[in-house]
Amino acid sequence: MNREFDNILDSAKKLHFVGIGGAGMCPLAEILHGKGYAVTGSDMFESDNTERLRSLGITVYSGHDAKNAEGADALIHTAAVHADNPELVYARQHGIPVIERSILLGIISRRFDNTIAVCGTHGKTTTTSMISHVLYAAKKDPTIVIGGRLPSIGSNGRSGGSDTMVCEACEYVDTFLQIEPNVAVILNIDEDHLDYFKTLENIIRSFNRFANQTKSSVIVNGDDENSMKALSGVKKRIITFGLEKKNDYYAENIQVKNGSYYSYDLMKKGEKLCRIELGVPGIHNVSNSLGACAALINAGVTPEETAALLPTFTGAGRRFEIYGTYEGVTVIDDFAHHPHEIDATLEAASKMPHNRLWAIFQPYTYSRTQILLNEFVRSLSRADRVVLTEIKAAREENIWGVHSSQMAEKLDNAVMIDDFDEIADYVVNNAKPGDIVITMGGGDIYKGARAIRAAYERRAENKIK
C-alpha cells in the first residue's frame, strides 16, 4: 500500500487527470470536483464520460499536451498511460506529485469512516450498483465509485455528504490493496488476470491480504470455495451469504417470472427478513443481490427499505443493458469478458422468450484470450449465432500471436467481422423477429450495439418516408 500521498488532498487545490474519461478515473474526478477542488483532465477519446464531466464545469482537453498540466498541484493518471506522456513528463520535470489512479482511490476511501468495498472476479459493478442505488434512494447520501453508469445518479461516481463510501475494488495488479475498507464484500474468486497472477493460488493470496486489511467486517460468498479459502487466518467479523442454508444470509422459495427475473425470501439464520424481487435478470444476480442485502443491512438499511428499493434497480451501464426491441429483435449490451461471465449472460438471455440467440463478442486482452481460448469457445457455443471481432488489445502487445480467427475456427456458427457498422448491417440483414442479439466484451463493443440500434432506426425512418 502506497501512503506517500495520503495528505495530498489537504494541501492541493488543483488536480489534473490524464485519461479522465476512463471508467475508473471519471468518478474520482467527479467526487473531487464535488468536494470543491479545481479539476481538469485530458483524454485521447471523446466519450459519454468526457461529455458529462464537461457538463459539470470540468475542463477536459482533447489529446495530451504538456501545457494541460500547468498549474496543477497533483497529477493523477491511469496505469495505461505511458511514462513518456507529455503531461506526466511535464509534471515530473516541475516537481508536481504524480499519483496513479488506484492510489488516489485508496486516499479518498480512507477519508470516510464507513467505506464499503466490493471485490470479486465477477459481479463487482452490478453488486456495487445495487448497494449504491439502495443507499442513495434511502437518503443515506453515499459517495459512490462504480465501474459502470448507475442510472439513478446518471453517472458512475457521486460526491456524497455522509461518512459512507461505496466503491468497486478491482484485483487486477493488486490495485485493491490500496484500499483499507471498513467492510469488504467478496463475491467470488476465479481464474482471471493470469498474465499478472500466474496461478489461482496467487489470486486467493491477494484476496486474503485484502480481507486482512479490512477494518471491521468481511461479507463473503459462503458458497464459493475459493472465497472461503481466502479467509484463512482472517481475524475479522465474517458474514456469509449464498444460496445454501449454511450461510448467514440465504435465499428460500426462489421463484422466476418472465423467464429470467427472480424473487426469493431473504433469510437470516433461519428467520425470514423480507421478500426480495429483482429488477435484473439471471440466477447469478440472486447471489449478487444476497451480498448486496447483507452489506445494506449491515450498514443500517432496514430489510423493509431493502425490499422496497432493490426492485427499482434495473441494471448498470453495460450490465445486461437492454437497448430495445427493433423489428422484433431485442438488442442487449453486456460487459462479459470472461467465459464464466459469458455463461451467466447467455444463460440469463436463454431464459427469456426468444427465437435465436446471437453473441457478438469482442475478446479483451491477448493474454486472457490465449489462456482461456478453449473456455471462450465452450461458452460461445451456447449461442445460435456468433460474430467475433478482432481482439481489443487494451494494455498489451500481441506476443502470443493469438487472433479471434483461432476461436472462430473452433465454432460451427461463427463469422469474423471487425467493423461495427458492418456488424450492424450483418445483423439487420440476418436477424429475425424473436432473436436476441447481445454484444459482449470489456472493450468498446458497446459501439457495435449502438450501431445496430442506429441501423434499425434508420430503416424505420426510411419506411416512414
User: Residue 465: what pLDDT?
Assistant: 64
Identify the CA nearest to 142 among candidates 132, 129, 151: 132
Same domain? 40 vs 115: no
For the domain that residue 86 is a member of, what is the CATH number? 3.40.50.720
Same domain? 176 vs 288: yes
Question: Is residue 371 assigned to a domain?
Answer: yes
**3-class secondary structure for the chain?**
CCCCCCCHHHHCCEEEEECCCCCCCHHHHHHHHHCCCEEEEEECCCCHHHHHHHHCCCEEEECCCHHHHCCCCEEEECCCCCCCCHHHHHHHHCCCCEEEHHHHHHHHHCCCCEEEEEECCCCHHHHHHHHHHHHHHCCCCCEEEEEEEECCCCEEEECCCCCEEEEECCCHHHHHHHCCCCEEEECCCCCCCHHHHCCHHHHHHHHHHHHHCCCCEEEEECCCHHHHHCCCCCCCEEEEEECCCCCCEEEEEEEEECCCEEEEEEEECCEEEEEEEEEEECCHHHHHHHHHHHHHHHCCCCHHHHHHHHHHCCCCCCCCEEEEEECCEEEEEECCCCHHHHHHHHHHHHCCCCCCEEEEECCECHHHHHHCHHHHHHHHCCCCEEEECCCECCCCCCCCCCCHHHHHCCCCCEEECCCHHHHHHHHHHHCCCCCEEEEECCCCCHHHHHHHHHHHHHHHHHHHC
Q: Which three cell numbers stand for residue 301?
A: 438499511
Question: Is residue 63 assigned to a domain?
Answer: yes
- Residues 424 and 22: their CA atoms lie apart, in Å, by 26
pTM of the model: 0.92
User: Residue 50: what pLDDT?
Assistant: 95
Same domain? 175 vs 276: yes
When divided into structural domains, the chain yields a total of 3
Q: What is the CA radius of gyration of the chain?
A: 22
Question: Is residue 224 assigned to a domain?
Answer: yes
Amino acid at 316: A
For the domain that residue 381 is a member of, what is the CATH number? 3.90.190.20
Same domain? 209 vs 327: no
Per-residue pLDDT of the chain in tens (465 residues, 90 and over written 9): 788 899 999 999 999 999 999 989 999 999 999 999 999 999 998 988 999 999 999 999 999 999 999 999 999 999 889 999 999 999 999 999 999 999 999 999 999 999 999 999 999 999 999 999 999 999 999 999 998 899 999 999 999 999 999 999 999 899 999 999 999 999 999 999 888 999 999 999 999 999 999 999 999 999 999 999 999 999 999 999 999 999 999 999 999 988 889 999 999 999 999 999 999 999 999 999 999 999 999 999 999 999 999 999 999 989 999 999 999 999 999 999 999 999 999 999 999 999 999 999 999 999 999 999 999 999 999 999 999 999 999 878 999 999 999 999 999 999 999 999 999 999 999 999 999 999 999 999 999 999 999 999 999 888 776
Same domain? 306 vs 326: no
Asked whether the beta carbons of 207 and 230 are under 8 A apart, the reply is: yes
Same domain? 410 vs 332: yes
Asked whether the beta carbons of 371 and 363 are under 8 A apart, the reply is: no
User: Residue 115: what pLDDT?
Assistant: 98
Question: Is residue 3 assigned to a domain?
Answer: no
* Domain termination site, one of 312, 339, 360: 312
User: Residue 80: what pLDDT?
Assistant: 83
Q: Which three cell numbers stand for residue 218?
A: 468481511
Same domain? 287 vs 358: no
Which pairs with CB-CB distance under 8 Å and at least 24 residues apart come from 87-95?
87/16, 87/18, 87/42, 88/18, 90/66, 91/16
Helix axes 26-34, 101-109, angle to 10 degrees: 40
Same domain? 409 vs 374: yes
Q: Which three cell numbers stand for residue 163?
A: 461518512
Asked whether the beta carbons of 126 and 285 are under 8 A apart, the reply is: yes
User: In sequence order, what are the residues at sequence separation of 6 or more whose Cβ sits closer than 8 angstroms to the Cβ of residue 28?
Assistant: 17, 76, 101, 104, 105, 108, 145, 157
Identify the CA nearest to 125 among candidates 148, 152, 155, 156: 148
Question: Is residue 384 assigned to a domain?
Answer: yes
User: Residue 258: what pLDDT?
Assistant: 81
Same domain? 224 vs 258: yes
Question: Is residue 217 assigned to a domain?
Answer: yes
For the domain that residue 181 is a member of, what is the CATH number? 3.40.1190.10
User: Residue 174: what pLDDT?
Assistant: 95
User: Residue 206: what pLDDT?
Assistant: 98
Q: Which neighbouring-strand residues pair with 99?
A: 76
Question: Is residue 26 assigned to a domain?
Answer: yes
Same domain? 128 vs 46: no
User: Residue 1: what pLDDT?
Assistant: 77
Q: What residues make up the domain containing 72?
A: 10-100
Same domain? 66 vs 136: no
Same domain? 31 vs 69: yes
* Domain termination site, one of 100, 129, 146: 100
* Domain termination site, one of 48, 78, 100: 100
